[in-house]
Amino acid sequence: MKRLINNKFFEGERPLFGMKEIRLEHLKFYPGESAIKECQQVEAYQCEFMCKYPFWHNVHTVIDDCLFTVYSRAAIWYSRDIHMSNCKVDAPKMFREIDGLQIEHVRFSTAGETIWNCRNIKVRDMEAHGGDYIFMNGVGIDIDGLRLQGNYSFQDAKNVVVRNAVLDSKDAFWKTANVTVYDSIINGEYLGWYSKNLRLVNCQISGTQPLCYCTNLVMENCTMAADCDLCFEYSTLDAGINGRITSVKNPNVGCIMAEGIGEIIIDEHCQNPGACKIITKQNAL
């Protein structure tokens, strides 16, 4: 049975350093550093964190219904088996070098540089604002329910599945590998450049110059807004688009099927002229 610590406040350096099997309830952590460092089997419930680096080098941590204020930057790093639910996070740089991270019903108001270099990540119902570079270098990411505002998301991530997301994110999925996105809305310029094995299923896409320099891009039952121009440059792909595409430029190898394409640009820089089959209702008749 865990030792209960409740209705107190702590401040300064490392007040609970190295403790094991503790449950924290209704605590406030005032300015200081590393309040719960090098700990194991910790549960935190309805606590408020105003200190820097509260959870570093921890194992088996459960955090529920807590508040991380703007002063609690870089709160959870270098740890294993972290489960956070029903929390509000107002500080950037949350989560680095975590193996085994679960996030449920969490709201990030300032999510810049959050969830970096983490592995084995499960997300259910998460909202993040200001989330520039979120999920960078992540490996093994399973997401269902994400509302994100922030650029450069998922850069260099590998083995990712995303469902039911709304991503307002310039340069999303750059240099990713083995990513599948289902039933989602993706708004932002330069989507998926330099990706490998990116698959988009039932997605709505907007933003200029999407999906260029891709290897093995697959699109199934997707729609592309009018601002999706100069698509697929130098990409190898199999793309099935519902509706029209404004323009396609120098696709490499594969097949593009759409109801119509406003402009097909094949210029002197095209690497494999004619190697990509382009099928529309007009030329199928």
Q: Which residues pair with 88 in a beta bridge?
A: 67, 107
Which residue bears the tokens 């549960």? 43
**Statement to judge: residues 127 and 268 lie in one domain:** yes
Q: What is the pLDDT of residues 165-197, one digit of tens each?
A: 999 999 999 999 999 999 999 999 999 999 999
Segment 12-39 mean pLDDT: 97
**Statement to judge: residues 249 and 208 lie in one domain:** yes
Q: Could you give the CA distance from residue 20 to residue 42 in angstroms, rounded to a whole number? A: 7
Q: Could you give the CA distance from residue 72 to residue 201 in angstroms, rounded to a whole number? A: 38
**Statement to judge: residues 41 and 85 lie in one domain:** no
pLDDT at 267 over 90: no
- Pick the closest to residue 85 from 126, 133, 25 (CA basis): 126
Q: What is the pLDDT of residues 274-285, one digit of tens each?
A: 889 999 976 654
Contact 73, 93 (CB under 8 A): yes
**Rounded percentage of the chain residues whose pLDDT exceeds 90:** 94
Number of compact structural domains in the chain: 2
**Statement to judge: residues 73 and 95 lie in one domain:** no
Which residue bears the tokens 């520039």? 132
Q: Could you give the CA distance from residue 81 to residue 160 in angstroms, rounded to a whole number? A: 19
Q: Could you give the CA distance from residue 268 to residue 279 in angstroms, rounded to a whole number? A: 22
Segment 42-50 mean pLDDT: 98
Q: What is the CA radius of gyration of the chain?
A: 22
Q: Could you give the CA distance from residue 118 to residue 222 in angstroms, rounded to a whole number? A: 30
**Statement to judge: residues 83 and 72 lie in one domain:** no
- Pick the closest to residue 211 from 178, 259, 172 (CA basis): 172
Displacement of CA 256 from its chain's centroid (Å): 27
pLDDT, residue 273, reads 78
pLDDT, residue 285, reads 42
Q: Could you give the CA distance from residue 202 to residue 184 in angstroms, rounded to a whole number? A: 7
**Statement to judge: residues 154 and 223 lie in one domain:** yes
**Statement to judge: residues 244 and 105 lie in one domain:** yes
How many CB atoms are located within 10 Å of the residue 149 CB?
20
**Statement to judge: residues 60 and 184 lie in one domain:** no
**Statement to judge: residues 138 and 236 lie in one domain:** yes
What 3-state class would DSSP assign to 188?
A: coil
For the chain, give the mean pLDDT: 96
Which of 77, 105, 123 represents a domain boundary (last residue)? Answer: 77
**Statement to judge: residues 120 and 136 lie in one domain:** yes
**Rounded percentage of the chain residues whose pLDDT exceeds 70:** 99
Q: What is the pLDDT of residues 47-69, one digit of tens each?
A: 999 999 999 999 999 999 999 99
Segment 16-34 mean pLDDT: 97
Q: What is the pLDDT of residues 211-264, one digit of tens each?
A: 999 999 999 999 999 999 999 999 999 999 999 999 999 999 999 999 999 999
Contact 19, 13 (CB under 8 A): no
- Pick the closest to residue 75 from 116, 45, 124, 26 (CA basis): 116
What 3-state class would DSSP assign to 282?
A: helix
Greatest alpha-carbon pair distance for the chain in Å reads 76
Boundaries of domain holding 67: 1-77
pLDDT, residue 268, reads 81
pLDDT at 118 over 90: yes
Contact 132, 113 (CB under 8 A): yes
**Statement to judge: residues 61 and 168 lie in one domain:** no
